[in-house]
Amino acid sequence: MPQARPQRIAGGISAIPSTRGLIVLAAVFLAAGGFAPAEGPKDTGDVSAKVPETFFAGRLSALEEKLFADSGDGQLDEHSLLEAALIASGAEDTKTVSRYESQLDALAAEFRKSSDKTADPRRRAIAVFEFMHARVLRGNYRIECTDLREALSQGDFNCVSASVLYNCLAERMGLTVRGLEIPGHAMSRVVLDKGPLEVETTCPSWFRLMGDPRKQAEMVKKTLGRDPAKARATAREVSPVEMVAMIYYNRGVDLLADKQFEQAAVANAKALWLDPSSTTARGNLLATINNWAIAAGSKHQFAEAVDLLHRGLALDPKYPTFTPNYVHIHHQWMEHLCGAGEFEEALEVLCRAETKLPDRPYFHRASMDVYRRWARSLFEQGKPDAAFALFTRAKSRHGTVPEVLAAEAGAVNDQGLALLKRGQAEEALAVFDRGLAVQPNAKLLRTNRRKAAEQRATSDPARGSARSAGPDVVGNGG
């Protein structure tokens, strides 16, 4: 089933391997319950602006409710970047937030005492960077370390947490800073009169190697496992609110990796509400829906899987894995129901699906297959009248169309061949004759009816001539 791959802003891509077969696991959504901010982005007609907050009503913490109310205009007026980042990282009480705010304030005061107060903005920006790595980020680069609490308490970091911390310290030193989002990566940018200064916040020796771009690139690659330099042309400058969104969708990637689908969906939806233009957040949200649906289908929770894909298709009908997975989940569901003898329900499921996606021929073909399998079951139960009545019903519902006629002829032929295989030529003839009575032009039935007559004649010469040479009975793939 088509799967998708989640993208993490942490200096790398976290991939979920594809599975075999038709199912496509998407890259990095869904359930009832989630979040509902008081006011979201206005509907501009652009799909990217339509945030599915209604899917997640009631899933904001008390601190998040205040944060999302504050950020509704795309700006933080009542929260500092650090406070917002801590809340996005999972801090749920003001005591925790205040403790880390005080820690950063103390670090800022320490920097002011030790730094050159006459330094120009560029030198100050570099000094803040060196101080951050010497006094705060003294642990290790870890791709999953988006949580600002870990960075401040343990010194471990990734590109998101490092960039947020740098911007927080730099702002306290009077510098104007922005975030930079690059596919799979994040950095900082200091706004200077002579042009922007880009800061690779994960590389402690970044500025010490400014005169040697080759070594600089090697160090970044050593830290991140790849060199993001080629992708910098597509860098997007992001606001503090949009930097907070990065924390949420990185959390979503981690939750999805742990198969905590609902929580992953909520995290990605929060990210998308904060940053409606983020293609990464939207892609991860859609991928979570897809992968959640696959997981539900594998547990035979077919109705839930289909509902998830309905929601995904409502968000983005062109998302490449939704439609093939919608078809495949219905195939699994149909096979499960037919295996349990629930043919009526199988037809209802396929009818609803065909109504949703009328341009997909699979659902009509699958319905015809259900009729044929149902009729085969009725024949095997010794209920030929019910089997023929089933196709009278099918013709009434679908019309006397070639697909219904083919399914009817196929079911009759299946039964006739099964009887012939058991040596019951007389009974096979009766079945073929009844089928030809309703479909006199069915070549398949007429051909195998002749073979049945020849077999009967061979076994009972008094009933007919000896069997003539000719091809074996004709099957129909059933």
Distance of CA 428 to the CA centre of its chain: 51
Q: How many CA atoms lie within 13 A of 377 on its CB side?
A: 14
pLDDT in the model for residue 406:
95
| Residue 291 near residue 25, CB atoms below 8 Å | yes
Per the structure block, which two tokens stand in for 84?
């917002």
**Residue of 28 and 383 predicted with greater confidence:** 383
**In this predicted structure, what is the pLDDT of residue 8?**
58
pLDDT at 469 (0 to 100)? 30
pLDDT the model gives residue 147: 96
Of the candidates 119, 143, 144, the residue with the CA atom closest to the CA atom of residue 131 = 119
pLDDT, residue 25, reads 54
Q: Is residue 453 very low, low, confident or very high in pLDDT (cuts 50, 70, 90)?
A: very high
Domain segments of the chain as ranges: 2-284, 300-463
**pLDDT value at position 19?**
31
First to last CA, the chain: 25
pLDDT band at 416 (very low <50, low <70, confident <90, very high): very high
Q: What is the pLDDT of residue 475?
A: 58
Give the DSSP per-residue string, 232-245: GGG-EEE-HHHHHH
**Residue 3, strand partner residues:** 25
- Please provide residue 307's backbone torsions phi and psi, each rounded to the nearest 5 degrees: -65, -40
**Contact between residue 305 and residue 296 where contact means Cβ atoms under 8 Å apart:** yes
Per-residue pLDDT at 315 exceeds 50: yes
pLDDT at 208: 85
129 neighbors 207 (Cβ within 8 angstroms): yes
Q: How many Å apart are CA 59 and CA 149, to the nearest integer?
A: 21
More confident residue, 4 or 112: 112
Using 50, 70 and 90 to split pLDDT, how confident is the model at 222?
A: low
Query: Is the pLDDT score of 374 beyond 90?
Result: yes
Q: For residues 272 and 266, give the distance between their C-alpha atoms in angstroms, rounded to a whole number.
A: 10
Interval 347-372: pLDDT, tens: 999 999 999 999 999 999 999 999 99
Dist. CA 241–CA 231, nearest whole Å? 23
User: Residue type at 175?
Assistant: L
Q: What is the pLDDT of residue 13?
A: 27
Smallest CA-to-CA distance from 205 within 141, 268, 249 is with: 141
Question: How confident is the model over 436-452, as pLDDT tens digits?
Answer: 999 999 999 999 999 99
Query: Taking Cα atoms as reference points, which of 162, 176, 149, 166 lies closest to residue 111?
Result: 166
Contact 35, 266 (CB under 8 A): yes
Query: In the chain, what percentage of residues exceed pLDDT 70?
Result: 80
CA–CA distance, 216 with 37 (Å, rounded to integer): 43
Categorize the per-residue pLDDT at 459 as very low, low, confident or very high, splitting at 50, 70 and 90. Answer: confident
Contacts of 17 (CB under 8 A, 6+ apart): 3, 25
**CA-to-CA distance for 446 and 113, rounded, in angstroms?**
100
pLDDT score of 64:
94
Which one is predicted more confidently, 392 or 13?
A: 392
Dihedral-angle region of residue 45 (phi above 0 means left; psi in -120 to 50 means alpha; beta otherwise): left
Q: Using pLDDT thresholds of 50, 70 and 90, give the confidence band for residue 12.
A: very low
Q: How far apart are CA 451 and CA 428, in angstroms?
A: 10
Report the SS3 class of residue 212: coil
Share the mean pLDDT of the chain. 85
Taking phi over 0 as left and psi of -120 to 50 as alpha, with beta for the rest, 278 belongs to beta
pLDDT band at 121 (very low <50, low <70, confident <90, very high): very high
For the segment 36-62, the average pLDDT, to the nearest whole number, is 51
Give residue 117's pLDDT: 77
Q: pLDDT class for 37, splitting at 50, 70, 90?
A: very low
- Residue 375 pLDDT > 80, yes or no? yes
Check pLDDT > 80 for residue 462. no
Query: How far is residue 397 from each of residues 150, 391, 400, 439, measured CA to CA in Å?
Result: 63, 10, 9, 18
